[in-house]
Chains A and B, each alone.
Chain A
Amino acid sequence: DAGVIQSPRHEVTEMGQEVTLRCKPISGHDYLFWYRQTMMRGLELLIYFNNNVPIDDSGMPEDRFSAKMPNASFSTLKIQPSEPRDSAVYFCASSSYRGLVREQYFGPGTRLTVT
């Protein structure tokens, strides 16, 4: 099993530019989560999907952020326009409902730097 795949691993961009982060969940998983991690705020849930449908986007900071999941094997998180305060590590995680145990499998993260 390849695990959760994220790309790119590092992204450096200038303020005002559009940024797109990509995620491929583990095959067969029907839940996908996007998190943001910073030293100041810790780990924050941005949005999660079930069967490609967004369920809860209450953690998305503002309208500059958007996420899509066009199919079961691919999701994107887009920031447009980007700002320096968006600098963080963004994680994608996937999961599958099996009985009562709902562990999540995290990707390696994308480190975003906005200058």
Chain B
Amino acid sequence: GDSVTQMEGPVTLSEEAFLTINCTYTATGYPSLFWYVQYPGEGLQLLLKATKADDKGSNKGFEATYRKETTSFHLEKGSVQVSDSAVYFCALSLNTGGFKTIFGAGTRLFVKA
């Protein structure tokens, strides 16, 4: 079945460090891919998205590239800040048949000053 697998957390980094959170997916067809972020006490919010192979989504210094050949959508940021501490969810949405979004388990990020 369709699924999303992301690296387990927590991930702990110092401020200004480079961030990578790995995400791979299994899907029939050609999904749209997303990264959502959840700050403490809040709901999930869309961070970035990509709809087809080789698309790069970017927002707030975060980037992810839709890699069809490796079925991956890794999240990266060159220099993290304390304010980036949150839980990050990788997700996919199939473009045919149904409307469910499938979320990964989430990766908690702690950034130390």
**A interface list, Cβ under 8 A from B:** 4, 31, 42-43, 45, 48, 50, 55-56, 91, 93, 95, 97, 100-109
SS class, residues of chain A in contact with chain B: strand
A-B contact count (CB 8 A): 52
Cross-chain contact of A106 among B43, B98, B100, B105 (Cβ < 8 A): B43
Inter-chain CA distance A104–B91, complex, in Å, is 11
> What are 13 A-B pairs with beta-carbon distances under 8 A?
A4-B43, A42-B103, A45-B100, A93-B44, A95-B99, A97-B99, A101-B51, A102-B93, A104-B101, A106-B43, A106-B44, A108-B43, A109-B43
Are A100 and B101 neighbours in the complex by a CB distance under 8 Å? no
Are B43 and A91 neighbours in the complex by a CB distance under 8 Å? yes
Chain B interface residue number, banded: 20 to 34
**B interface list, Cβ under 8 A from A:** 32, 34, 41-46, 49, 51, 89, 93, 95, 98-101, 103, 105-106
